């Protein structure tokens, strides 16, 4: 049994195990959320391992089923291309990074679970390394049959750059359609939709580094420039989220620029509340039990008279 299927089985096992134990009051729900779910407060409390354990936890059965179906298709495709070792690197690096890099868009105690960020990392790698490989998967053959001419195109010795890039583009469009459907179906608050985007970008870096066909298109300097571009992008993004960690109630020029297009990258309730209060000439906003309260800093002068 390959690693993809083991991860899926383990995810189902843990979902029913912990839901059963909490339903029977054998263990409190807080024990599960504190020790297995990802949140910035859990990490700061010393439970750094939740970056990994949260990949196997899910907020609802719909969330679990959606992830399992997507992972089964793209996970098996990547393992057939590069083996279990490369799949493990992509899956765990992408999943952990998507949790960490999307943390500032949530409150410190907000819980994040699921391996969807890791899945989108895997999807990006498959798209760039071999966009037709998913057509060789068992799932695709069961649904569409194995006689399609497009399947044999994967193993052709003669490589057509235009066809390859077209297939990459089509596959990425299919992925983003899947992201939109996934976001619509899975509306659980514990699902980090920003993490999907982060995971996809991480997968692009892996895909550029590992794709032999892309190396043929952008040899030498071109490939290095692409890799450096995405590394700089991650560095800029890292600096941006660090600003929000240090100054959670402040905006910088990037926020102001995005807001001019009605884009709120950090869309947690805390940030939304704070931005609303700032727009209405208050000093900051506080969310308590789902209610936004606008506050004013008051300075008191000692009365010596």
- The answer on 223 and 258 residing in a single domain is no
The two structure tokens encoding residue 286: 């506080």
User: How many domains, in total, are found in the chain?
Assistant: 2
- The answer on 242 and 253 residing in a single domain is no
Average pLDDT, the chain: 71
> Could you say which of 246, 263, 293 is where a domain stops?
246
- The answer on 65 and 12 residing in a single domain is yes
- Give pLDDT, residue 4: 92
- What's the rounded mean pLDDT across residues 119-136? 72
Q: Please say if the pLDDT value at position 51 is more than 90.
A: yes
- The answer on 229 and 283 residing in a single domain is no
- Give pLDDT, residue 197: 74
Give tens-digit pLDDT for 66-125. 889 888 888 888 888 788 998 999 999 999 988 888 776 677 788 888 888 899 888 888
The two structure tokens encoding residue 63: 């969330």
- The answer on 192 and 265 residing in a single domain is no
SS (H, E, C) the chain: CCHHHHHHHHHHHHHHHHHHHHHCCCCCHHHHHHHCCECHHHHHCCCCCHHHHHHHCCCCHHHHHHHHHHHHHHHHHHHHHHHHHHHHHHHHHHHHHHHHHHHHHCCCCCCECCCHHHHHHHHHHHHHHCCCHHHHCHHHHHHHCCCCHHHHHHHCCCCCHHHHHHHHHHHHHHHHHHHHHHHHHCCCCCCCHHHHHHHHHHHHHHHHHHCHHHHHHCCCHHHHHHHHHHHHHHHHHHHHHHHHHHCCCCCCHHHHHHHCCCCCCCCCHHHHHHHHHHHCCCCEEEEECCEEEEECCCCCCCCCC
Torsions phi, psi of 219, nearest 5?
-75, 155
- The answer on 301 and 184 residing in a single domain is no
Range of the domain at 265: 249-305
Give tens-digit pLDDT for 255-289. 665 666 555 555 556 666 777 787 778 877 777 76
Higher-confidence residue of 130 and 135: namely: 130
What is the pLDDT confidence band of residue 188, given thresholds at 50, 70 and 90?
very low
Contact 118, 199 (CB under 8 A): yes
- Give pLDDT, residue 253: 56
- Give pLDDT, residue 34: 92
- The answer on 146 and 61 residing in a single domain is yes
Higher-confidence residue of 187 and 106: namely: 106
Give tens-digit pLDDT for 215-229. 555 555 555 666 666
Crossing angle of helices 161-185 and 116-129, in 10° steps, is 170
Cα of 303 vs its chain's centroid, Å: 55
- The answer on 13 and 113 residing in a single domain is yes
- The answer on 278 and 176 residing in a single domain is no
Say how far apart CA 202 and CA 218 lie, in whole Å: 19
CATH number at residue 51: 1.20.1540.10
CA-nearest of 126, 124, 72 to 97 is 124
- The answer on 169 and 154 residing in a single domain is yes
The two structure tokens encoding residue 295: 């506050």
- The answer on 90 and 234 residing in a single domain is yes
Say how far apart CA 36 and CA 58 lie, in whole Å: 10
Higher-confidence residue of 201 and 14: namely: 14
Q: Please say if the pLDDT value at position 21 is more than 90.
A: yes
- What's the rounded mean pLDDT across residues 118-146? 65
Q: Please say if the pLDDT value at position 190 is more than 50.
A: no
Torsions phi, psi of 288, nearest 5?
-130, 115
- The answer on 49 and 71 residing in a single domain is yes
């Amino acid at each position: 049994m390959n690693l993809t299927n083991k991860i899926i089985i383990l995810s189902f096992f843990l979902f029913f195990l912990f839901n059963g134990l909490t339903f029977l009051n054998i263990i409190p729900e807080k024990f599960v959320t504190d020790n297995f779910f990802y949140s910035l407060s859990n990490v700061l409390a010393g439970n750094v391992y939740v970056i990994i354990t949260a990949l196997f936890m899910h907020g609802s059965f719909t969330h679990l089923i959606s992830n399992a179906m997507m992972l089964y298709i793209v996970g098996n495709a990547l393992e057939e291309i590069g083996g279990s070792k490369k799949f493990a690197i992509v899956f765990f690096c992408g999943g952990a990074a998507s949790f960490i890099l999307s943390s500032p868009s949530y409150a410190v105690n907000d819980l994040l679970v699921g391996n969807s960020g890791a899945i989108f990392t895997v999807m990006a790698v498959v798209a760039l390394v071999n966009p037709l490989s998913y057509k060789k998967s068992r799932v695709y053959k069961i649904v569409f049959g194995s006689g399609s001419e497009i399947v044999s195109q994967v193993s052709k010795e003669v490589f057509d750059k235009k066809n390859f890039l077209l297939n990459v583009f089509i596959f990425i469009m299919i992925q983003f359609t899947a992201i939109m459907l996934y976001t619509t179906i899975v509306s659980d608050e514990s699902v980090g939709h920003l993490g999907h985007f982060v995971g996809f970008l991480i997968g692009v870096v892996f895909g550029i580094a590992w794709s032999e066909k892309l190396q043929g298109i952008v040899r030498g300097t071109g490939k290095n420039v692409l890799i450096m571009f995405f590394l700089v992008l991650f560095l800029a993004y890292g600096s941006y989220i660090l600003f929000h960690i240090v100054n959670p109630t402040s905006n910088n020029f990037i926020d102001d620029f995005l807001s001019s297009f009605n884009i709120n990258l950090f869309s947690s309730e805390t940030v939304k509340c704070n931005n609303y209060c700032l727009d209405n000439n208050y000093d900051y906003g506080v969310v308590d039990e789902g209610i936004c309260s606008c506050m004013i800093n008051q300075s008191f002068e000692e009365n010596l008279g």
